[in-house]
Amino acid sequence: MRGPVTVGGAAAASPTARVAPIRVATLLRAALWALLAGNLVRLPALTSGAREAPLSFNDLVVLLLLSAGALACVGGRSLILDGVTRRALLFAFVGGTSAVLAMPRFGLSAAEVGFSLAYLVRWLVYLCVYVLAVNTLRRRDVLAVVRTLERVILAFAAFGIFQSIFLPGFAQIVYPESALYIDWDPQGHRLVSSFLDPNFAGALIAIGLLLALARQSCGVAVSRLHIALLAVALVLTASRSSMLAAFVGVCVVVGIAGLTRRIVRIGLAFGALLLAALPALLSFARTYGKLSVDASAVSRVVSWLRALELFRDNLLIGVGFNTYGFAQRAYGYEAGRGAFSFSLDGGLLFIAVMTGCIGLGIYLGMLGGIVSRARAVWRSVSVTAEERAVAVGAVAAMAAIVVHSLFVNSLLLPLLLEPLWILWALPGVLVLDGAVAEREAA
């Protein structure tokens, strides 16, 4: 495995060459709590026709965090650009270049390209959270950060359960002047928490559940109430994509750590409770059309077929980062909302449509670099059980979000990018800070 590049400092192989002020680690943990604001606070920013790109409270917190982190890195005169970062920057370059080249190909105006590139800038901002974590965190910070993330998700899920019971139609309560099916869909008693969307809320809850199960499978005790609360919250989302993602993530945990007695006991207990509550759960799911092939499922398939047409015609570098809505117009399609909007419910298919085979290959290489680091950690004999669980949880969360994003555009959602980038950085921190022997990391 190739080593990181150090800009303006000593060799990256030496842990002392990296700056790790405790205050940055503390700020990183504090910033995670801003996730709880979700979509409750949104500030108008860019618009392009009917398309808006509002800033969230979390966006502002991340910018403040990165400003503090930049000062720390400048003070240390050292900046690590590891393989994951370099691939991510190369992916962004391909996406940006393709967007600029979309002007003559699809008749985009400079304003439309600028609007599209603003999303790429936002993606790069959240990538900087990963860079900050790799450059400033130490081995001693890893468990504190992941515990904070778990507490944030637990609080998110607890509020979501309260909201599901007592605050139905929560998005319309928060934004009473919003237009139904245009601004926010009516969700009734489905759990949406502060994200105001059951699918995205379910994705975050699934990440928390997988982290807990990873710890349990690695021999670290986890409160049964903790797991039960997350499981109940996940069910209350009535999100099929989130439940499938959680199932895939659990399979990854079991595949890496093995089927332990603790996991079997949890599975049996959950199965028994599920059977007991099955009539009520079926009624709840039926209320929201989750037991049949509804209009949203059909439209999603149609959008996939449309995306495949654009991908086929733009195999090399795609249609450009976030220009999908404009590119549809060139094909005679109207970029509406939902499955036919500027984004695409297709996960890696959306990556391929935007950046072509070149961008997709680079993106997969980036994910592969994260998995490689995590694998070195969970196979190491010099890490603790909790550190091993972090690596297992990071890969399980990756598998879950890739599956989840097939049905909703969660792979590029800023509110999910922040916890994912932080989680994916932690195995790298353990490797770079010497928790894994050099021969094991190779």
Sign of CA dihedral 58, 63, 64, 68: positive
Q: What was the pLDDT predicted at 15?
A: 46
pLDDT for 155 beyond 80: yes
Q: How far apart are CA 401 and CA 76, in angstroms?
A: 34
How much is the mean pLDDT over the chain?
87
Q: What was the pLDDT predicted at 376?
A: 97
The stretch 229-246 carries a mean pLDDT of 93
Decide: helix, strand or coil at residue 93: helix
Q: pLDDT tier at 8 (50, 70, 90 boundaries)?
A: low
Count of structural domains, the chain: 1
pLDDT for 292 beyond 70: no
Q: Which amino acid is at 98?
A: S
Per-residue pLDDT of 250-275, as tens digits, reads: 999 999 999 888 888 888 887 877 77
Q: pLDDT tier at 279 (50, 70, 90 boundaries)?
A: confident
Per-residue pLDDT of 184-214, as tens digits, reads: 888 899 999 999 999 999 999 999 999 999 9
Per-residue pLDDT of 344-353, as tens digits, reads: 777 899 999 9
Q: How far apart are CA 398 and CA 370, in angstroms?
A: 9
Cα 399 to the center of its chain, rounded Å: 11
pLDDT for 411 beyond 50: yes
Q: What was the pLDDT predicted at 297?
A: 66
Percent of the chain past pLDDT 70, that is, above it, reads: 85
DSSP secondary structure, 348-385, as one string: HHHHHHHHHHHHHHHHHHHHHHHHHHHHHHHH-SSS-H
302-305: long-range contacts, CB 8 A cutoff, minimum separation 24: 302/339, 303/339, 303/340, 303/344, 303/345, 303/346, 304/345, 304/346, 304/349
The stretch 136-161 carries a mean pLDDT of 97
The encoded tokens of residue 38 equal: 């979700």
Q: What was the pLDDT predicted at 17?
A: 47
Per-residue pLDDT of 62-89, as tens digits, reads: 999 999 888 877 766 568 899 999 999 9
Q: What was the pLDDT predicted at 333?
A: 79
Q: How far apart are CA 376 and CA 82, in angstroms?
A: 15
Q: What was the pLDDT predicted at 342?
A: 57
The stretch 215-236 carries a mean pLDDT of 94
Q: pLDDT tier at 293 (50, 70, 90 boundaries)?
A: low
pLDDT for 27 beyond 90: yes
- 302 within 8 A of 345, measured Cβ to Cβ: no
Q: What was the pLDDT predicted at 343?
A: 64
Is-above-0.75 flag for pTM?
yes
Question: Which residues is 48 bridged to in the sheet?
Answer: 51
Determine the structural domain holding residue 433 and report its residue range. 5-441
Q: What was the pLDDT predicted at 439?
A: 56
Lowest mean pLDDT, pick from 99-103, 329-333, 359-363: 329-333
